[in-house]
Amino acid sequence: MIQWWCTALERPWSWQWIPYPGIWLATLLPVALYVRSVTRHSSPVDRRKLLQFLGGMLVFWIASDWPLGALGAGYLASAHMTQFILYSLVAAPLLLLGTPEWMARLVTSRLRIYRVTIWLGRSAVTCGVIYNALLLITHAPGTVDVLRTSQLGSFAMDVLWLAAGFILWLPVASPIPEGRVQSAWAKMIYLFLTTAVVAVIPASFLTFGTTPIYRIYELAPRIGSITAREDQQLAGIIMKLATIPVVWGTIGVLWFRFSAEESRLTA
In a domain, 64, yes or no: yes
2 part of a folded domain:
no
Range of the domain at 78: 21-266
Q: How far apart are CA 35 and CA 221, in angstroms?
A: 42
Report yes or no on 15 lying in a domain.
no
Whether the full predicted model's pTM is greater than 0.85, yes or no, is: yes
Greater model confidence, 157 or 10: 157
Torsion angle defined by CA atoms of residues 62, 250, 51 and 242, in that order, rounded to the nearest 10 degrees: -10
Single-letter amino acid code for the residue at 106: L
Q: Is the pLDDT of residue 267 over 70?
A: no
Is 59 within the bounds of a domain?
Answer: yes
- Asked whether the beta carbons of 174 and 117 are under 8 A apart, the reply is yes
Q: How many domains are there within the chain?
A: 1
Q: What confidence tens digit (pLDDT) does each residue in 41-88 have?
A: 888 878 999 999 999 999 999 999 999 999 999 999 999 999 999 999
CA atoms of 59 and 33, how far apart (whole Å): 18
Q: In this structure, is residue 14 part of a structural domain? A: no
Residue 1 has pLDDT above 70, yes or no: no
Kindly report, residue by residue over 230-257, the tens digit of the pLDDT: 999 999 999 989 999 999 999 999 998 8
Kindly state whether residue 117 falls inside one of the protein's structural domains: yes
pLDDT digits (tens, 9 = 90+) for 159-205: 999 999 999 999 999 999 999 999 999 999 999 999 988 888 888 88
Does 11 reside within a domain?
no
Kindly state whether residue 9 falls inside one of the protein's structural domains: no
Q: Where are the alpha helices (DSSP H) in the chain?
A: 21-40, 47-64, 68-74, 77-85, 92-97, 101-110, 114-122, 124-138, 141-147, 151-173, 184-196, 200-208, 215-218, 228-241, 243, 249-266
